[in-house]
Structure formats: structure tokens, C-alpha cells
Amino acid sequence: MFNALEMAPPDPILGITEAFKKDPNPGKINLSIGVYRDAKGATPVLESVKRAEERILATEKTKNYVSPNSGTVEYCAAVQELIFGAGHEVLASKRAATAHTPGGTGALRVAGDFIKEVLGGKRVWMSEPTWPNHPSIFQASGLELGTYPYYDAVHKTLDFEPMLDALKKVPAGDYVLLHGCCHNPTGMDPTPDQWKAIADVSAKQGWIPLFDFAYQGLADGLREDAEGLSAFLGQGRELFICSSFSKNFGLYNERVGALTVVGESEVAAEKALSHLKRVIRTNYSNPPAHGSSIVTTVLNDAELRALWEGEVEAMRDRIAGMRQLFVDTLRAKGVLQDFSFLTKQKGMFSFSGLTKEQVARLRDVYAIYIVSSGRINVAGMTEENMNPLCKAIAEVLSN
């Protein structure tokens, strides 16, 4: 029966890294998957994480199941404090409930299943473009998909008015996926005023916001990056937040994330959590503990937390530096197109504007791997690979 199957297409992001690994070219460059690299091109374990792991190794007494299966009280409290900020009204009123999930993808899938099975939701609207896994996840949950305009490819900016117009037509009770910060794939985020306008439309229309908050800390700062979310929280709305610690803790392969739901009261949040536990039980039963122990240890220890916040800041600064160097180097290589829009974008990703054909040529001729949409991972650039990278792009653009 397996032989009767057609081969499945490779994943548009993971498949590129698989191809990259097989490429024997010693000068190959991977700007596809959203993984941070330091100035040497490595993805090291953060110092704060290493120290937390040493402590965990020395004190851990059991590998018993995580209980409850929605995550430990300590982890869920630490996640909420990071999302909302200490002393926030949502924390004081206890109207949020958090479930520990395997990564941000796990959070999105648990949210999708909960929306479909428990809340009877019908449809999720997502930005055009969005992370290619978003539609696949919500489709797998049995939800219908809709899209709203997001990016103006001509002016390399947010397509704000058309976006808002589309959101004004989303029916009450539908769900709208919003990227909390560092929009994936465009790197274009709404301004605080634009966030406020989106929140106003949501309140008026009655659609429910579902935040993918996978990059907290990588745009402007841990608190600053929650600005979009705050616009909705200020209105006392019910909403969903999917967090990931893959990027800001560098815990990619530990699969640690969280789904937080914000309800109208503590009782409402407790009810929601009781259902999330059931959704999790029938999916992966219990979350993996190691990554969450690291996150809890770091966030709850003043010294480790300060160290981690410094490490997040260093990642953010290096990415911003690479954006500028990329723009400058392209210009130095004689590229006439203006790439300065890249310095206005946030987080790891940018929409380069490179066409599918140019992306294919970069891969086939120069062993430079980019997602076919033209999305580039700026965090994969280094001072060392910048010259060959920009030289190749200049050549491809001039052909």
C-alpha cells in the first residue's frame, strides 16, 4: 500500500535545509529556515541556557510525567509574566490560562483543535503572505481558511488600508491570525497606531484575535514587542496567544512553547484550560519537560534572567547590524535597486523581492539557499558570507 503512494512534496522551508545539508559546496549559504546564527555562523546554546541546564542536571530528581498535562504551575506563570509583563491586569484578574505545548507549532495546532472541536469555530483568516505552515496547521484541525491582504510588494510596506478593509468584513465569531511581531515572512509589523486600529475593528466586528507570538524580543525588545497584543488586551478582549521559545531561547530542538488563552474571568479561563487538557491528552498526552525546565529556571532567577535578556538583545542587535551591512554591501557591489526597506523590517526575515527564478539560480549556481517566496533569513548572514552573498545577488539581479 505504501508503494501506491505518490511522493509528498518537500516542505517549503524544512525541505530547503534538507537539500542544503546534501550540497557538497564548501561555500554554501543557508538563508532559508528561521534559525539565528552568531557572527561565526553558528547556532550556539545560549550561556543562560547552559547554566540553567547545569542546575537542572544537578538537582533534577525524576523524569516523571509533567503534571498537570497542561504544564507546571511555575512554567505557566513564568510564560504569562513574560507575555503580559509583571503586574498586568490580566495576571491580577487571573483571566488567562496557559498550556505548555511542544513549540509554537504545537501551540497553534492545540489552538486549532480547541477552536474546531470545543468552540465550534469555523474559519481562520491569515495574512497574505504568511508562514507556509499556518494554513496547513489550521486545515489539519478541520478549519476553513481565509486570507487578508498584508504586504504591498511594490512599495515594500504594509498594505494597511486594504488589510483593514478586509478585516472589517470578517464575520463575528471567526478567528484572525495576527503575527505579534517580526511578521513571518515579510518582516513588516504594524505601527502602534495601526495595531490600535486593528484592535478597534476586531472589537467592532466581533472576530477573535489569535496571536502567533514566536519572536518576542527579536524586534524592538521583550516588552516593546507586546505592543500589538496590548492594544487588544486594553479592550478586555478574549484572545489566544501562541508563544515559542525556539528563537528567543535558541531552544529549537527542545520543542518548548505555550498556548495562552485570555478569557473574561478566572472561571472562564479555568473552563478553557480543562478542555485544553483534553485536547492535549488525545494528541501528545504530556509535554516534554526539559525545555520548559530551562525556561522556568532562567525566567525565575534574577541573574540568569538578566544574562538571557542581554543575550536576546545581542541577537536583536546583530540582526539589525546585518540588515544594514547587507544593504550597504549590495550597493557597493553595484546593485541599483534600493534595498533600504530592509532596515525598516523587524526580526529574522525579509521579503527580498527576488523572484522564484532568481532564487533557483542562486541555489543552482551559487549554493545560496533562500525560500522560494524570496524570504531571506537575515540572521543567517555574517560578515564573512556577506561579500560572496551580495556578489551573487548582484550577478543574479543583473541577468
State which amino acid sits at residue 243: S
Q: For residues 242 and 239, what is the distance between their CA atoms, to the nearest angstrom?
A: 10
Catalytic residue among 116, 156, 196, 247: 247
Asked about 247 being catalytic, the answer comes back as yes
Of 199, 167, 195, 164, which is closest to residue 181 (Cα–Cα)?
A: 195
Residue 133 or 292: the one with the smaller Cβ distance to ligand LMR is 133
184 counts as binding ligand LMR under rule CB under 6 A? yes
392 counts as binding ligand LMR under rule CB under 6 A? no
Choose which of 36, 84, 131, 175 interacts with ligand LMR (CB under 6 A).
131
The residues that bridge with 148 in the sheet, in sequence order, are 127
CB 272 to ligand LMR: min, Å: 26
CB 32 to ligand LMR: min, Å: 7
Asked about 38 being catalytic, the answer comes back as no
Q: For residues 128 and 150, what is the distance between their CA atoms, to the nearest angstrom?
A: 6
CB 349 to ligand LMR: min, Å: 7
13 counts as binding ligand LMR under rule CB under 6 A? yes
CB 98 to ligand LMR: min, Å: 21
Confirm if 147 and 168 have CB atoms less than 8 A apart: no
Q: For residues 240 and 243, what is the distance between their CA atoms, to the nearest angstrom?
A: 10
CB 236 to ligand LMR: min, Å: 31
20 counts as binding ligand LMR under rule CB under 6 A? no
Residue nearest to ligand LMR as judged by C-beta position: 34
Asked about 131 being catalytic, the answer comes back as yes
Query: Please, which residues have CB within 8 angstroms of residue 377's CB and are 6 or more apart in sequence?
Result: 30, 31, 32, 33, 34, 35, 348, 349
Residues 248-277 that bind ligand LMR (CB under 6 A): none
Residues 23-62 that bind ligand LMR (CB under 6 A): 33-34
Q: Which three cell numbers stand for residue 166?
A: 478586509
Residue 13 or 46: the one with the smaller Cβ distance to ligand LMR is 13
Q: For residues 268 and 275, what is the distance between their CA atoms, to the nearest angstrom?
A: 11
Residue 36 or 195: the one with the smaller Cβ distance to ligand LMR is 36
190 counts as binding ligand LMR under rule CB under 6 A? no
Angle 369-352-185 (CA atoms, 0-180°, nearest 5)?
Answer: 80
Residue 11 or 81: the one with the smaller Cβ distance to ligand LMR is 11
DSSP 5-16: SPPPPPPTTHHH
CB 49 to ligand LMR: min, Å: 19
Q: Which three cell numbers stand for residue 244?
A: 515559542
Catalytic residue among 131, 195, 207, 308: 131
- Burial of residue 393 (CB within 10 Å: 0-12, 13-18, 19+) is buried
CB 184 to ligand LMR: min, Å: 5
Catalytic residue among 212, 225, 308, 346: 212
Residue 34 or 291: the one with the smaller Cβ distance to ligand LMR is 34
Contacts with ligand LMR by CB under 6 A: the residue count is: 6
Q: CA distances (Å), 220 to each of 27, 212, 226, 242, in order?
A: 32, 17, 10, 19
Sign of CA dihedral 172, 174, 179, 184: negative
Residue 136 or 205: the one with the smaller Cβ distance to ligand LMR is 136
- List residues binding ligand LMR (CB under 6 A): 13, 33-34, 131, 133, 184
- Catalytic sites, residue numbers: 131, 212, 247
